[in-house]
Amino acid sequence: MFAKFSRRDFARFAGLAALGAASGARAAADAAADRHAPAAFPKDFLWGTATSSYQIEGAVNEDGRGKSIWDTFSHTPGKIEDGSTGDRANEHYRRYREDVALIKALGVRAYRFSIAWPRVFPEGTGQPNPKGLDFYDRLVDELLANGIEPCATLYHWDLPQALQDRVGGWQSSDTSKAFADYAAHVATRLTDRVKTIFTVNEVGRFLNFGYGWGIDAPGLKLPTAQLNQARHHVALAHGLAVQAIRASGRAGTRVGAAENIAACVPAIATPENIRAAEIATRELNAGFLGVVLEGKYTDGYLAYAGADAPKFTPDELKIIGAPNDFVGLNIYAPQFYVTASDRAPGFHVLPFPTSFPHMNSEWLRVGPEVIYWAPRLAAKIWNIETIYISENGTSSDDKIAADGQVYDLDRIMFLRNYLTQMQRATAEGVPIRGYFLWSLMDNFEWIFGYGKRFGLYRVDFETQARVPKLSAAFYRDVVMRNAIGV
């Protein structure tokens, strides 16, 4: 009997049957809708999106900009997967008004961008470039004119090459002091309009990858002691920048760091495992986030480092531990699943099975619960009152369909699940005050070049055309509802 029906007939009849069943159940579904309405985020929740200077600006040789370590690194053969550079990137330096319109179309209230240190101080120190902040002046004014709050990051990895050449970059505390001077100059110029400043972004990435493993710029492989000392210099730079911004900025300016926290998740949420995850979070973040928030290195960290521990003074720790107005957490994937252990240090890190699911980027393991646990544990350990999820998002294959659209259902799946877990956290009182989706648009994805796409807008890097993906509509709906739609 069924052989007489084509696949199209079968699909049509199945669809009609489903419609009939749906119409019979519609009244019950409508009646239940109120009980299952999406849970809302806090009323004043700050929705935003984010980018960084080297990844989108281009114009690397214009208006007095100096060279950065990423200019040098990306031009070194074999360092970037597709052989590309950030020389042109998204041409945001010229197209910023178009890009601000994209931000506005999402309905978000905030935009986190980074300032290129080499544009402001081409040599890292000395006299500032007179045109260095002109672009950011224009960008900030355009954002404000469109009702978007500008949130600036001072360091998203583009260290002036001159500092790397002269003093070894973050290997020297001279760079920490230079960063404070740069922070003071930016604060003087922009804090009449920019009220939220992130100092440094992802110390855990740019130090380990750039100075430890040689994967990122500047491509060094330092011994452990030197790497730990460099991390201390970044922490000192953060503390000095906090002081400089408070001294030079306008009243009401808020400052903190954005760190890719070593995110620990209890494998099973028993009280013992949750406590183990707390211990692991504190100890595995002691080298930067811990010392910034506690003003000291943990005994466990110093004991583990032994002779490789950083050298420091009490005065430096006092500077590093200056109070922050907020903490930014960049959260993509669970880095550690832990269980309790009777042996020191009190936790056991579990191995990831090879079948553990991941997104288009293999390092991006799918564990939505991490955006619940990482802020919850951090807030408890360090008594944090304001947390921003300063980055979260995913790359996707992002193929263009026959109708010219990008149906990035995997990104929507990722965001729906992560944002649901974030809402769980806010509902329980975890002090997450805002969320910045990474990223506004596809861009230069560091060592992967243009081969990994994280944007809500697809960018054709030949024509520079920006096209919204389906995920842009999804995110716009979340922002509009202030809730995850059902």
The catalytic residue positions are 202, 391
Q: Where are the alpha helices (DSSP H) in 391-458?
A: 409-427
Q: Using alpha carbons only, give the angle 392, 397, 399 rounded to the nearest 5 degrees.
A: 130
- The encoded tokens of residue 414 equal 């990722």
Q: Residues, the chain, total? A: 486
Give the whole-angstrom CA distance, residue 237 versus residue 486. 45
Neighbouring CB atoms inside 10 A of 278's CB total 21
In this structure, are residues 196 and 149 in contact, taking their beta carbons and an 8 Å threshold? Answer: yes
Longest CA–CA span in the chain (Å) reads 86
Task: Give Cα separations from 171 to 164, 167, 175, 176, 394 (angstroms).
Answer: 9, 7, 8, 10, 32
Q: Using alpha carbons only, give the angle 428, 433, 438 rounded to the nearest 5 degrees.
A: 110
Q: 328: helix, coil or strand?
A: strand
Give the whole-angstrom CA distance, residue 13 versus residue 7. 10
Residue with the two structure tokens 């669970």: 334
In this structure, are residues 333 and 263 in contact, taking their beta carbons and an 8 Å threshold? Answer: yes
- The encoded tokens of residue 367 equal 């564990």
Give the whole-angstrom CA distance, residue 282 versus residue 242. 22
Give the whole-angstrom CA distance, residue 124 versus residue 299. 35
The DSSP bridge partners found for residue 49 are 111, 437
The DSSP bridge partners found for residue 392 are 437
In this structure, are residues 81 and 449 in contact, taking their beta carbons and an 8 Å threshold? Answer: yes
